[in-house]
Amino acid sequence: MHHSWIIHIAKYLHVGSFSVAFGAQFWHYFLASPHIRSILSVGKLGELQRGLFDRLYILSTVSGLISICTYFQINCDRDRTELFLLFLNLFCNATSMTYISPNVSQLSLRRNNIKDTYATTPDPDRYLVDSKYIAFNRSFMWMHRAGIAVSMISIATQATYLGFLTKRHSLH
């Protein structure tokens, strides 16, 4: 078949894009983050992770798009479960990139700005009873928890899809 080389390239792109996204997320959530949390202060951790998460979500979203596009090239019999997993993963990463991560960053900065205004006062811990700080902190915590849940759903869909991928596709 004269298009067989296209199918081979699509298979490599599919496996490659999936591997990049899964590997980056697994490394970030289960290897790097626990180590970074043990050595950095909360403030430095937040600064570092703001940049890392933005890059991670962009990488994962683009890789997810490539995985979906190449899936349609290499699978004549489209499995609805596999497609659901790929689209759910893309939805999780796109939601994290466009909504959750920017909101977590904004709420964290606003909360920290209020905390900083009390730093030079006679009672630097007074921010803990400031109603605006309490509101921003509560919103931050909910949004942060939502981000963790969405990220774990993304990892779970990728791990499940990996099972399908190893059963169904060969690069030969």
Per-residue pLDDT tens over the stretch 84-133? 999 999 999 999 999 999 999 999 889 988 988 888 888 888 888 899 99
Check residue 79 and give its pLDDT. 76
The Cα 153–Cα 120 span in angstroms is 42
Mean pLDDT of 138-163: 94
Task: Tell me the pTM.
Answer: 0.83
With bands split at pLDDT 50, 70 and 90, how would you rate the model's confidence at 52?
Answer: confident
Average pLDDT over residues 73-78: 72
Give the whole-angstrom CA distance, residue 74 versus residue 25. 25
Q: Rounded CA gap, 163 and 156, in Å?
A: 11
Q: What are phi and psi of 121, to 5 degrees?
A: -85, 165
- Please report the pLDDT score of residue 2 as a whole number: 52
- Cα–Cα nearest to 93, from 45, 2, 24: 24
Q: What distance in Å separates the CA atoms of residue 89 and residue 61, rounded to the nearest whole number?
A: 8
Report whether pLDDT(165) > 90: no
pLDDT band at 76 (very low <50, low <70, confident <90, very high): low
- What's the pLDDT score for residue 170? 55
| Residue labelled with tokens 């970030």 | 28
pLDDT of residue 40: 81
